[in-house]
Structure 1
């Protein structure tokens, strides 16, 4: 079996509108200067606690910021102007992998289990992922815990696992876990940051990603230890 792990925000889903708006509203509600758009998106992939510590500093009321951000995000999702959309080609790629023999799909995200469940429901992907690892279940990226737990849950070796993501945190996490790190250029961080973090192939479309995955999936599988 081969395990294909996907990040969510910035890789499968374009959620930048909600992320930027929710951060701005949260900071303003607490009398803090909101981060720039670039800065707001640079921390996507971290757990919320780690993200707000990076954005506001350890002396800020982190727990209150996290709680407020969750409430604001939930409210914004009811507004069509902030609708989360799949990136072009994402649905076709996932659907093809879901029905391919010898392939297990997984998620490794800084999102929450609740947030992932809502997304899977909205896209009709319930039950399509063999393992879902979130910030609820493991240390924040770039710690390798999410990937290690995903491999343990599916009994797949590092040599047969690939991590696909848009951030330096995804790439560093994959390298630390000993799996193939594949970066995507359409997300929230510049390609240079992915390269510096250890990305292997970097793709610029889902069509390119499918070509990379085809080579990975056709390589002989390794026996899990």
Structure 2
């Protein structure tokens, strides 16, 4: 498949650019325990965490969603910067892509926007992006198409095939599909049979170096 020439690349954040499963799992386990619930295993956390807390906590905790949100973010904020680890090749990839003319980079994450921007600033990556959009920044969170429009606002670029949406989970692909963008799966494991059945997937790359090469080739 020939991909549309990219004018903008929108990245997911957690576990696309940075490794954050351990800190997310710890904060979620603490939340379950504080509310008298059985915590998930790490494998369950990796499989189930997709939506923002704004969207998922009412489903998980019902009328105690507000209490759960407070516990989760208090726990997460206590040590998330100390445990922040870029994924292999992410820094070099972002540096190289940011230097390409006429290519804009952005982030759309379901991490709370204030925390997302703190992490980007901590890594010194904020300079690479025209926008860093997290949960609660737009009227709706990922996978709603409104969040993509919010991220592109002021860039002169509209959502469409020339915007590549890059992530590691199904919700990223759904967001790309909902907004009419090109859907790129960035993770070591190739899609399993029927894993994304019914959801558009335009390309899979196993690592950051491979994605950089894909962009460069598509710009020629």
Q: What's the TM-score bracket when you normalise by the shorter of the two chains?
A: 0.7 to 0.9
Unaligned segments of structure 2, at least 5 residues: 1-5
SS at match of 1:133: strand
The answer to whether residue 131 in structure 2 is matched with residue 131 in structure 1 is yes
Q: TM-score, normalised by structure 2?
A: 0.87
Report the CA distance between 1:194 and its aligned residue: 4.5
Stretches of 4+ aligned residues off by more than 4 angstroms: none
More off after superposition, 127-136 vs 2-11: 127-136
Report the CA distance between 1:88 and its aligned residue: 0.3
The CA distance in 1 between the partners of 2:219 and 2:197, in whole Å, is 23
The CA distance in 2 between the partners of 1:117 and 1:204, in whole Å, is 26
Partner of 1:63: 66
Distance change >3 Å, CA 153–CA 41, structure 1 → 2: farther
Summarize the alignment of residues 43-62 of structure 1 with structure 2, pairs less than 5 Å apart: 43-54=48-59, 56=60, 59-62=62-65
Partner of 2:91: 91
Report the CA distance between 1:46 and its aligned residue: 1.5
The CA distance in 2 between the partners of 1:52 and 1:170, in whole Å, is 19
The CA RMSD measured in Å over matched residues stands at 2.1
Q: CA-to-partner distance for each residue in 1:66-105, whole Å, 9 max, x for gaps? A: 1110000111336x5xx12011010000000111111111
Q: TM-score, normalised by structure 1?
A: 0.85
Q: Aligned pairs, how many?
A: 211
8 A contact 1:8–1:109 mirrored in 2: yes
The CA distance in 2 between the partners of 1:201 and 1:39, in whole Å, is 26
Report the CA distance between 1:200 and its aligned residue: 1.3
Unaligned segments of structure 1, at least 5 residues: 219-225
The CA distance in 1 between the partners of 2:50 and 2:69, in whole Å, is 15
SS at match of 1:146: helix
